[in-house]
Chains A and B, each alone.
Chain A
Amino acid sequence: MKNEFIITVYTENHIGLLTRITVIFTRRKINIESLTVSESAIPGIFKFTIVINETKAQVTKVVGQIEKQIDVLKAFFHTNEEMIYQEIALYKVPIEPIYESDTIESIVRNAGARILEITKDYVVIEKTGHKKDTQALFEQLNEFKVMQFIRSGRVALTRDPIERLSEFLKERDAFLNSLD
């Protein structure tokens, strides 16, 4: 059975690595639902957060193939339940219909959204949450005909009390030093 999995990959910061990782999915015809890349808390180490819908057996193999790449330090996978995650969405809504309606205040308040910018033509609203939450707000705001909408890739943290990468790096450094 296919489920949503969050794959977290820690890598060196090398050009071409994004392709090296994504072709592992492409080759197996696995669609990447969401992808976020940014520098981790450890300088020089980058973190990929990848969301896919797959069976556990397939995600296990894919993570094995990712970890095999030379510039990859470590790759993990988790179910949604094992992680705390968020996505951010921005909505640009025309000012005119909002002006004429009396629901915008309750929509924004109930969604826990906030307003980033107001001009004479539009309002930009921001909401952070899971996809179903940001999608629900989209449906509501679309009454006013949303002009532009963008949702980010997912960012996620584990519920583990320890930072597994730091542990891993400590062990790895100790091992490499033992080689000298």
Chain B
Amino acid sequence: MTAQKVTGSQALILSLLEEGVDTIFGYPGGAIMPVYDALYDYDKEVKHILTRHEQGAIHGAQGYARVTGKPGICLATSGPGATNLMTGIADAMIDSTPLVCITGQVASPLLGTDAFQESDIVGMSIPVTKWNYQVTTPEEIPEAIAQAFYIATTGRPGPVLIDLTKDAQFGELDFEYKKCTKIRSYVPETHVDPHQVKAAADLIDAAKKPMILFGHGIIIGRAEDELKAFIEKTGIPAAWTLMGLSALPTEHRLNVGMLGMHGNYGPNLLTNQADLIIAVGMRFDDRVTGKVSEYAINAKIIHIEIDPAEVDKIIKADVAVIGDAKKALHMLTANVAENNHDAWVEEFRKCDVIEQEKVISKDLYPTKPGLTMGEVVRIASEKTNHEAILVTDVGQQQMIAQRYFKFKNSRSNVTSGGLGTMGFGLPASMGAQIGAPDKTVVAMIGDGGFQMTIQELGTIAQNKLPVKIVILNNNFLGMVRQWQQLFFERRYSFTELQNPDFITIAKGFGIEGHSVSKRENLEDSVQKMVDHDGPYLLEVIIEKEDNVFPMVPTGASVSDIILEP
């Protein structure tokens, strides 16, 4: 390729095109205007989604990244534009979501002078980015962008940020693009050690009560088929973490449900009966382990993980297999004996019966007058044939949706796991819809979280994104209220909300919707939403003070999971 003379801004756009970018989520402003000017000439090649707030842009980019597996691209100006991205960057960091964020910056002679809309975004974002870099000359742009994509998408993915001074955007360079394929100080594709695989296989073949815990790493590593092959050959029951949801069909006979604080009864309880834990692409989050000293007390631990810093971070591994889940599981499957653990799987099913009776049937088929979150989730899942992409916000609706929505396909669950970012749901749902235009996207959002990023209804309307938005409205910050009820003597300190008329607001944005509060209208209401051509907002007035159970109380062991208050 011969070099062509272009401006820094054009070089940025050309670099993004070289990386296959077709969608950018962004918001213009002073210090990024040259880039926006260049973008004006590329509206056929790149779709720019103008959000209503930079937080909307970054959560949109996250939603896009999570359903496509491609990096989400986010563009913002300097100062407040850049700082508004920070929550989403932190969210992407902890949930290993590949993002390339590009921020404008004041011209390089003004750096450090408290110039208008100057913020030290590189300094500020260091702890929440996988890598970041400030570009002050146009010549640096192609290489910086190439490295940004390489770093964001390889190994354990994560967000990177490139800060682009205005003079670098204006200046000219001879553009030539070369994709980054290696960095001396960063070697993400570690070779999987066959000795470790063999050691793991020996433990697996000897185990009487083995259990697989799988997380986001299966989805990120596109290892769904390898996971399935592994569990089917060994007959080992497999439980997913919140972030691992949808990596295996919900109805797979060896899927024993969700781990964690509000996960299923069986996998939590039986963690302490298992004699072997095979953890794949997960990081033993505190919401999964409960009290660490009383976690997996009878089990040896195999940890299959791409990030060496995660091994022994929380739970000491007896055998650590460092590397990509796809490769490691493939090798492991070849090394283990065919087996079945039907009696052990039956233990999980017995727990399911107990949970069904004590919790699930009351959530999904309630007999009390008030609507439950669980029945709304069940109906939404059924009406979309369990093939929709579920996007949630954070709180009770999130836990209930994760518990009861069913999945047939991978990459169908978009949620804020590690950071627990309220306000994530609505903007992430629009990103998910753009990333998966042929799928139904159902956003389950509480009345609290919805109001944190409510402005993105404007983006949804302008781009005619047919997102199905369900507000589960209990006029409370429900999860906090639940904790106040259980652990703070029902002192409901600042958790009750006086809400606006959501349907009128949606209408104001040009989005249709209606509100439902009676069980006899619920099925039809959900059906109407699903059938609607275009975005739709369904408000469901639910029981004011329902709780999410089962629950592993903070500081308790997973086997002390409680089914009811």
Contact present for A68 and B309 (CB under 8 Å): yes
Contact with A along B130-149 (1 / 0, CB 8 A): 11111000000000000000
Contact present for A176 and B185 (CB under 8 Å): no
Contact present for B313 and A61 (CB under 8 Å): yes
Interface size of A in residues (CB-CB distance below 8 Å): 23
Binding site secondary structure of chain A? helix
Which residues of B lie under 8 Å from residue A176 when comparing CB positions? 182, 184, 187
B343 within 8 A of A: no
A70 and B122 contact, Cβ closer than 8 Å, known pairs A23-B127, A64-B309: no
A38 within 8 A of B: no
Smallest Cβ-Cβ distance to A12: which chain B residue: B185
- Give residues in B with beta carbon < 8 Å to A: 122-123, 126-127, 130-134, 151, 181-187, 307-309, 312-313
Contact with B along A54-68 (1 / 0, CB 8 A): 000000110011011
A16 and B132 contact, Cβ closer than 8 Å, known pairs A61-B309, A64-B309, A179-B181: yes
Smallest Cβ-Cβ distance to B182: which chain A residue: A176
Which residues of B lie under 8 Å from residue A65 when comparing CB positions? 309
CA distance A175 to B182 in the complex (A): 10
State which of B134, B181, B186, B308 has its C-beta within 8 Å of the C-beta of A70. Answer: B186
Which residues of B lie under 8 Å from residue A15 when comparing CB positions? 134
- 10 pairs of residues in contact across A and B, judged by CB atoms under 8 Å: A11-B185, A12-B184, A16-B133, A61-B309, A61-B313, A67-B308, A72-B185, A73-B184, A175-B187, A179-B181
Which residues of A lie under 8 Å from residue B130 when comparing CB positions? 70
CA distance A12 to B147 in the complex (A): 15
Which residues of B lie under 8 Å from residue A71 when comparing CB positions? 131, 185-186
A172 within 8 A of B: yes
Contact with B along A152-178 (1 / 0, CB 8 A): 000000000000000000001101100
CA distance A64 to B322 in the complex (A): 13
State which of B126, B187, B309 has its C-beta within 8 Å of the C-beta of A16. Answer: B126
A27 within 8 A of B: yes
CA distance A47 to B183 in the complex (A): 19
A110 within 8 A of B: no
Which residues of A lie under 8 Å from residue B122 when comparing CB positions? 16
CA distance A172 to B184 in the complex (A): 7
CA distance A172 to B187 in the complex (A): 9
Question: Chain A nearest CB: distance from B264 CB in Å?
Answer: 31
Question: Chain A nearest CB: distance from B358 CB in Å?
Answer: 39
For the complex with contacts A16-B122, A70-B151, A70-B186, 14 further pairs of A-B residues with Cβ separation under 8 Å are A11-B185, A16-B123, A19-B126, A64-B309, A64-B313, A68-B309, A70-B130, A70-B183, A71-B185, A72-B185, A73-B185, A175-B187, A176-B184, A179-B181
Smallest Cβ-Cβ distance to B314: which chain A residue: A61
Which residues of A lie under 8 Å from residue B127 when comparing CB positions? 23, 27
Question: Chain A nearest CB: distance from B60 CB in Å?
Answer: 26
CA distance A173 to B183 in the complex (A): 10
Question: Chain A nearest CB: distance from B181 CB in Å?
Answer: 7
A20 within 8 A of B: yes
Smallest Cβ-Cβ distance to A68: which chain B residue: B309
Contact with B along A97-131 (1 / 0, CB 8 A): 00000000000000000000000000000000000
CA distance A15 to B181 in the complex (A): 22
Which residues of B lie under 8 Å from residue A16 when comparing CB positions? 122-123, 126, 132-134
